[in-house]
Amino acid sequence: MNPVILGIESSCDDTSAAIIKGDTILSNVVAGQKVHEEYGGVVPELASRAHQQNIIPVVHKALKDAGVTVSDISAIAFTRGPGLLGSLMVGTSFAKGFALARNIPLIEVNHLQAHVLAHFIQEPGQQHKVPEFPFLCLLVSGGNSQIVLVRDYLDMEIIGQTIDDAAGEAFDKCAKVMGLPYPGGPLIDKLAKEGNPNAFEFAKPRIPDFDYSFSGLKTSFLYFLRDHIKEDPGFIDNHRADLCASLQKTIVDILMEKLVAAARKTGIKEIALAGGVSANSGLRQAFLDGQKNYGWNIYIPKFAYTTDNAAMIAITGYFKYLRKQFVGQDVAPFARMIL
Ligand code: KG4
């Protein structure tokens, strides 16, 4: 019998619960938090308070959407880290209480591993093709930019990562400099469609191996705008689309250059994309180009499974359940958990 697993995600500003039966998702409920919008970024204290309010209604809805009851749940999986400690504590405490009350196994999940394993979530009645091991996964979000070598479901190694800002952060911070609201990544993507990606050139970092750096780009973008605004106060308004298109091209080029190099060095052609920035149309196009130019088999999950969600926690919980990787009631959240 396939286990039915309840997944809980509360690492940042989305409270999410999902039910998975085997590898087939039955429900995935996400409650976002509007409270942060006016601050231009996530406020940790407000995030944990909102999780506290959201968690029970979100779990109730996930059970209802899946058509199951609490007594059908075989195990509960939760995000242990990385993330905001106060936020993680809400999901962890809920999961511990639920496991204790129902006398079922408790499974800790690494949020980054879950982003990668999101590729294995199947929808009812339609099996999609999943990556073959070993594969490379470019994991790009608001907090991470990594190239992960995935040898097996629970055997992963980071072979390249950012030494400072994440790619999503670069999008968001540059958007802020242009006066766009948070999170600016999706807005830059939208505006870029009307602009010329070769209108402006921004310097790319020189970082060894497969590592990334995005903090220099943010600074050079800021100085670039400041210099031009001195001569033309309306520079940003007059060139917004070209600025977005050129910035997006630079970020995508930086990401792809290292990924192509990693694929070449390892000889791997199974290439996957994960994390919130995978919604970016420029990056998606670059993956399609990789398929054409390098013979890659590419994998991009459904949008709902790329941003923070509990479906990916549930599928990771499933793989750990099969290996009986359970934890005890003494488990505590771990804000700086690594892959
Ligand atoms: O994985 P995610 O939902 O959560 C965090 O890690 O926080 O990623 C969110 C990030 C934000 O930085 C957001 O601006 C970026 O993903 N993002 C995008 C796009 N959609 C979301 N960046 C560029 N283009 C997009 N279409």
User: What is the residue-level pLDDT of the chain in tens, covering all 339 positions?
Assistant: 899 999 999 999 999 999 999 999 999 999 998 888 788 778 999 999 999 999 999 999 999 999 999 999 999 999 999 999 999 999 999 999 999 999 999 999 999 999 999 999 999 998 999 999 999 999 998 888 999 999 999 999 999 999 999 999 999 999 999 999 888 999 999 999 999 999 999 989 999 999 999 999 999 999 999 999 999 999 999 999 999 999 999 999 999 999 999 999 999 999 999 999 999 999 999 999 999 999 999 999 999 999 999 999 999 999 999 999 999 999 999 999 998
Q: How far is 242 from 219, CA to CA, in rounded Å?
A: 18
Decide: 168 in ligand 1 pocket, CB within 6 A: yes
Annotation-wise, does 215 bind a ligand? no
Q: Tokens 């936020």 identify what position?
A: 87
Note whether 261 and 189 are same-domain residues.
yes
Q: What is the C-alpha R_g of the chain? A: 20
Decide: 183 in ligand 1 pocket, CB within 6 A: yes
User: How high is the pLDDT of residue 40?
Assistant: 73
User: How high is the pLDDT of residue 192?
Assistant: 98
Nearest one of 9, 7, 5 to 333, comparing CA atoms: 9
Q: How far is the CA of 72 from the centre of ligand 1 (A)?
A: 34
Q: Which two tokens stand for residue 302?
A: 């459904």
Decide: 273 in ligand 1 pocket, CB within 6 A: no
Question: Do the interacting molecules here have an ipTM over 0.90?
Answer: yes
Decide: 277 in ligand 1 pocket, CB within 6 A: yes
Q: What percent of the chain has pLDDT over 90?
A: 93
Q: How far is 323 from 320, CA to CA, in rounded Å?
A: 5
User: How high is the pLDDT of residue 75?
Assistant: 98
Q: Which two tokens stand for residue 106?
A: 């408790």
Decide: 105 in ligand 1 pocket, CB within 6 A: no
Q: How far is 201 from 332, CA to CA, in rounded Å?
A: 46
Note whether 55 and 158 are same-domain residues.
no
- Hey, which residues does 137 pair with through a beta bridge? 148, 272
Look at the chain and count its residues: 339
Question: Residues near 223 by Cβ (< 8 Å), separated by ≥ 6?
Answer: none
Atom 8 in ligand 1: residue holding the nearest Cα: 276
23: containing domain: 4-121+305-322
User: How high is the pLDDT of residue 183?
Assistant: 87
Ligand 1 atom nearest to 251, measured from its CA: 23
Note whether 157 and 192 are same-domain residues.
yes
Note whether 205 and 222 are same-domain residues.
yes
Decide: 14 in ligand 1 pocket, CB within 6 A: no
Contact 326, 78 (CB under 8 A): no
Report how many domains make up the chain: 2
Tens digits of residue pLDDT in 105-147:
999 999 999 999 999 999 999 899 999 999 999 999 888 899 9
Q: How far is the CA of 185 from the centre of ligand 1 (A)?
A: 6
What Å distances lie between residue 115 and 127, 145, 171, CA to CA?
A: 19, 12, 20
* Residue whose CB lies within 8 A of the most ligand 1 atoms, among 30, 165, 171, for a mutation test: 171
Atom 22 in ligand 1: residue holding the nearest Cα: 185
Question: Residues near 267 by Cβ (< 8 Å), separated by ≥ 6?
Answer: none
Note whether 149 and 30 are same-domain residues.
no
Question: Any idea what the CATH number is for the domain that residue 248 is in?
Answer: 3.30.420.40
Decide: 143 in ligand 1 pocket, CB within 6 A: yes
Note whether 108 and 149 are same-domain residues.
no
Q: Is residue 145 part of a domain?
A: yes
Note whether 206 and 115 are same-domain residues.
no
Q: Which two tokens stand for residue 144?
A: 């991470």
Note whether 165 and 279 are same-domain residues.
yes
Note whether 106 and 142 are same-domain residues.
no
Note whether 152 and 82 are same-domain residues.
no
Q: How far is 80 from 89, CA to CA, in rounded Å?
A: 8
